[in-house]
Homo-oligomer: A and B are copies of this chain.
Amino acid sequence: MTVERRSTPLSRSRRPTIKDVAEAAGVSRSTVSRALTGRGYAASDVRERVLRAAAELGYVPDVMARTLKQQVSRSVGILVSDLRNPFYAELAAGASSEARERGYTMVLFDTSLSAQAESEAAEALVALRVAGVIVTPNSSAVSTYLSSHGIPVVEVDRQFAAGSTDGVVVGNRVGARTATAHLVGLGHRRIALFIDETDWTTGYERYQGYLEALSAGDIKVDPELVVSSGWDVADSRRRALDMLRGPDRPTAVFAANNVLAEGVWRAIGELGLSVPGDISLVAFDDSPWMSMVSPTVSAVSQDTFNLGATSVRRLDERIERPESDSVTTVLNVRLVQRESTAPPPAL
């Protein structure tokens, strides 16, 4: 299981500091600082001498010391709920890409849906003196705490502190309404909703969109068909098995995120139901597997990568102009129609 190899001692005595560069170039520390940062005077021959000395020594300025002196850092924090969920992974990827472009380093925390992990992470970010934080929040606690320490926050995907902090979200209500209306338009009247929660903005809005579409189709809401499922695939699968085994099962399901959709999909497969013959399925949040299975699954697609990138852009603007009015950016979504929806089976 474990293979021994030879070791390297690599006992580098000490990392070179600005003082070492100064001595090597025969100038003072101040001059080195000016030559390297480009702020202030430095004769061109001196500058060159300094640059050469720095390169030879492999000098890399100490961010800790610089930040301590300047009292501003070029790091941002990002708190996501669950990196194993492709949604958050792609969000983080988008944030990372934009952060790199803007010269920020990114400190990442996977809070694993634990409130304790979340507040520990928040405190660590304060300690790190980050310039700002992106968060997919589980409560308003993090935003409030960070704001009280003067750290700009952008809430992404869902919002708890709308009004006092910036937010970047998608058109949840419109997306959910469109998806549900699509099912209504096909003739479905018993449309189940699988949703994780309805208290946060995301779940609430998607729930509202669902209700609006039903109401527009003159369909009375059946509370039995609204399933407030848990967080993971297993839970969602179990709930779906229960519901779909019943005698008067729905003719269509709208799953409010990719995890719930996966649970429902697995349950449908286990029960041997045919899609869309027996049951139609639409998901919120397109995932790669939805275009790989057969039949392919219709979904409300959100540009998750862009969601992450946009939130970093927003954060950067906020850092530049701390006093400006807070803004909530809403990214549009679109329904990708695939093969999983059809009119309900004839009675």
Binding site for B on A (CB under 8 A): 1-10, 12, 15, 58, 60-65, 67-68, 73, 75, 82-84, 86, 89-90, 92-93, 96-97, 100, 105-110, 112, 117, 120, 123-124, 126-129, 147-150, 162-164, 262, 265-266, 269, 288-289, 292-294, 305, 323-332
Chain B residues lying within 8 Å of A82, measured Cβ to Cβ, are 93
Closest 4 CB pairs of A and B: A89-B89, A289-B289, A83-B93, A7-B325
Q: Are B89 and A149 in contact (CB under 8 A)?
A: no
Closest to A63 in B: B127
Given the known interface contacts A108-B108, A148-B58, A149-B15, the answer about A164 and B3 at a Cβ–Cβ threshold of 8 Å is no
A290 CB to closest chain B CB, in angstroms? 9
Q: Is the interface of A mostly helix, strand, loop or mixed?
A: mixed
> Beyond A100-B120, A288-B289: 19 further Cβ-contacts under 8 Å?
A5-B328, A6-B326, A8-B147, A10-B150, A58-B148, A62-B127, A62-B129, A63-B128, A64-B65, A64-B68, A64-B129, A84-B89, A86-B89, A96-B108, A105-B107, A105-B109, A105-B124, A107-B108, A266-B292
Q: Are B90 and A84 in contact (CB under 8 A)?
A: yes
Chain B residues lying within 8 Å of A73, measured Cβ to Cβ, are 64
Q: Are A63 and B129 in contact (CB under 8 A)?
A: yes
26 contacts between A and B (CB under 8 A): A3-B329, A5-B162, A8-B163, A10-B147, A10-B148, A15-B150, A60-B127, A60-B149, A62-B129, A63-B127, A63-B129, A64-B65, A64-B73, A64-B129, A83-B89, A83-B92, A84-B86, A84-B90, A86-B89, A105-B109, A105-B124, A105-B128, A107-B107, A269-B294, A289-B289, A289-B293
Chain B residues lying within 8 Å of A112, measured Cβ to Cβ, are 97
Chain B residues lying within 8 Å of A108, measured Cβ to Cβ, are 92, 96, 106-108
Closest to A330 in B: B1
Q: Are A5 and B327 in contact (CB under 8 A)?
A: yes
Copy tally for this chain in the complex stands at: 2
Determine which residue in A9, A61, A100 has the highest number of CB atoms from chain B within 10 A of its CB, and name it. A100
Chain B residues lying within 8 Å of A97, measured Cβ to Cβ, are 110, 112
Closest to A106 in B: B108
Q: Which single member of B60, B90, B100 contacts A126 (CB below 8 Å)?
A: B60
Q: Are A123 and B60 in contact (CB under 8 A)?
A: yes
Q: Are B100 and A5 in contact (CB under 8 A)?
A: no
Q: Are B58 and A68 in contact (CB under 8 A)?
A: no
Q: Are A12 and B149 in contact (CB under 8 A)?
A: yes
Given the known interface contacts A64-B68, A84-B89, the answer about A325 and B128 at a Cβ–Cβ threshold of 8 Å is no
A344 CB to closest chain B CB, in angstroms? 23
A39 CB to closest chain B CB, in angstroms? 17
Q: Are B60 and A2 in contact (CB under 8 A)?
A: no
Q: Are A324 and B5 in contact (CB under 8 A)?
A: no
Given the known interface contacts A96-B83, A96-B108, A325-B7, the answer about A292 and B305 at a Cβ–Cβ threshold of 8 Å is no
Bound Cα distance A292, B75 (Å):
39
Bound Cα distance A92, B329 (Å):
28
Closest to A295 in B: B294
A13 CB to closest chain B CB, in angstroms? 9
Closest to A12 in B: B150
Q: Are B105 and A325 in contact (CB under 8 A)?
A: no
A20 CB to closest chain B CB, in angstroms? 14
